[in-house]
């Protein structure tokens, strides 16, 4: 749920089926970024979708366009994760991503 009070004012984000918790982030040599996050409860295509990276406290860090989903090979833990790829550099450190306080919305 997205609430607007005034333009560019405080926005309240509510955890919904479309919000995915980020578990890890990988920067590839071709300049793209892969974000490992929870598998959504609603199965949908992530390709060419505009998403936001938001903290669980409501701070919006960045908006980006997802270029597609990637397959995670040799996955032994967290089998409920998906990997989404963005060509835009993501402004989130590995430590922040692994903290569990950031969402893809």
DSSP-derived letter for residue 59 is: -
Q: What is the pLDDT of residue 63?
A: 94
Q: What is the pLDDT of residue 47?
A: 79
Classify domain 16-104 at the CATH topology level: Elongation Factor Tu (Ef-tu); domain 3 (2.40.30)
Tell me what the pLDDT averaged over the chain comes to.
79
The confidence band for 57, taking pLDDT boundaries of 50, 70 and 90, is confident
Q: What is the pLDDT of residue 8?
A: 38
Q: What is the pLDDT of residue 24?
A: 92
- Using a CB cutoff of 8 Å and minimum separation of 24, what contacts does 60-63 make? 60/11, 61/91, 61/92, 61/102, 62/88, 62/90, 62/91, 62/92
Span 10-27, mean pLDDT?
70
Give the predicted TM-score (pTM) of the model. 0.76
């Amino acid at each position: 749920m997205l609430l607007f009070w005034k333009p560019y004012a405080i926005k309240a984000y509510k955890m919904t089926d479309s919000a995915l918790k980020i578990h890890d982030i990988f920067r590839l040599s071709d300049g793209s970024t892969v974000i490992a996050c929870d598998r959504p409860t609603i199965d949908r295509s992530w390709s060419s979708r505009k998403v936001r990276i938001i903290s669980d406290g409501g701070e919006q860090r960045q908006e980006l366009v997802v270029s597609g989903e990637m397959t995670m090979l040799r996955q032994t833990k967290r089998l409920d994760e998906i990997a989404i790829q963005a060509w835009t550099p993501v402004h989130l450190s590995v430590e922040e991503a692994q903290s569990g306080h950031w969402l893809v919305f």
